[in-house]
Amino acid sequence: MTLKFEANQLRAYFVCGTQDVVGQSLVTVVDQALAAGITAYQFRDKGASQLTTAARYQLGQELREHCAAAEVPFIVDDDVDLALALQADGIHVGQSDDQVQRVLEQVGQQMFVGLSCSTLAEVEQANQIAGIAYLGSGPIFPTTSKLDADPVVGLAGLAQLVQVSHYPIVAIGGITENELPAIAATGAAGAAVISMLANSDDYQRTVWAMLAAPFEE
């Protein structure tokens, strides 16, 4: 059974794939993040990932089961076929991936859909599309986790996007624990992180910092 989308699931949103935890088990990393209290997990296995399609499906199946046991939404990045095969709770798509309208038609009511938007024009366009659950906006700060990242949005830019958006926004890109209060002050619903958590020496502390930030309910 898939989980319904709620904006508070964006508070402590972990994005991670095998390329982000080289030399470690992704399942172990995600299990630690789940135990620490993340509110959503996005399976984003791409770029430097060496997995075959079959291996990615097998890994995704295990991660999906662990998220379900923890009652945390399991979200697949970009890949509609994989998301449907894994019965994911959600799928996240970018501006350059499949057109979001096409994805909405393909998944119907089976899962929620998130969309990356980094400019006012993209947010205004998203406002015209019914059925989107949330927007992911960034990078807020410079990031090394995505080689194809958009230009830096900044805190002032994020505040503008939040003001215009009809949908809750999760901020992503170059975020550290120290910046969480400033991100929350923009009205964002949460923070999505890759390296901040994947490289943390204390998952509990890092996730607690995300949960403690006064994000918009």
Residues contributing to the annotated binding site for Mg(2+): 78, 97
116 is catalytic: yes
44, 56, 64, 137: the active-site residue: 44
**By C-alpha distance, which of 22, 24, 36 is closest to 14?**
36
Contact 13, 170 (CB under 8 A): yes
Binding-site residues, in ranges, read 42-46, 77-78, 97, 116, 143-146, 174, 194-195
Element (H, E) at 62: helix 53-70
116, 118, 137, 165: the active-site residue: 116
4 is catalytic: no
φ and ψ at residue 169, rounded to 5 degrees: -115, 130
Contact 17, 194 (CB under 8 A): no
User: Tokens in use for 166?
Assistant: 């009809």
11, 56, 146, 200: the active-site residue: 146
Residue type at position 28: T
Residues recognised as catalytic: 44, 116, 146
